[in-house]
Amino acid sequence: MSTQWLDDEEMTAWLRLVGVVELLPGILDTQLRRDAGVTHYEYYVLAMLSEAPQRTLRMTALAQRTNATLPRLSHVVKRLEDRGLVDRFPCPEDARATNARLTAEGWKKIKATAPGHVGTVREHVIDVLTPEQISQLADIAGAILESIDPDADLSSVYRR
């Protein structure tokens, strides 16, 4: 099988995407650590819980939504639990499972943190694009998500 190398335009697009994938997480993480004392991943866990019914999810569902292994998620949830932002308890429907719930303090934290996070997203992504580019970005990201997550295990979280 012969390799189909990237032409100049494809290489430019690819390298720019790599740059975004590499640089944007650090920008988001820096702002959240500075302004709210949470990592981007911790914020994401809190955000997923904030959007769930009763602000509660099974740990397995939360791991799926945040694309984490259960050990990594458990470690992060423990840190959030120690800070009073999340609590864990046995799942009433299945005692073998554990639920994570956003506490009242966690809800306050997410409400206080969201404006700064959205401001950073606007500054570095949304406001530098035209409305047409926003639509194109949604289509492009959707196509890539379909390719890298064909079973929509994670992509469903990103569909609005």
pLDDT 10s digits, 50-83: 999 999 999 999 999 998 999 999 999 999 999 9
Q: Is 127 exposed, middle or buried (0-12, 13-18, 19+ CB in 10 A)?
A: exposed
| Domain range 25-113, CATH class | mainly alpha
- Angle at alpha carbon of residue 67, lines to 137 and 89, rounded to 5°: 135
- Residue spans of the domains in the chain: they are 25-113
The pLDDT assigned to 158 comes to 64
- The conformational region for residue 84 under phi > 0 = left, psi -120 to 50 = alpha, else beta, is left
Can you give the length of the chain in residues?
A: 160
The answer to whether 98 touches 58, Cβ cutoff 8 Å, is yes
Q: Is 63 exposed, middle or buried (0-12, 13-18, 19+ CB in 10 A)?
A: buried
Check pLDDT > 90 for residue 14.
yes
The pLDDT assigned to 155 comes to 59
Confidence band of 149 (pLDDT split at 50, 70, 90): confident
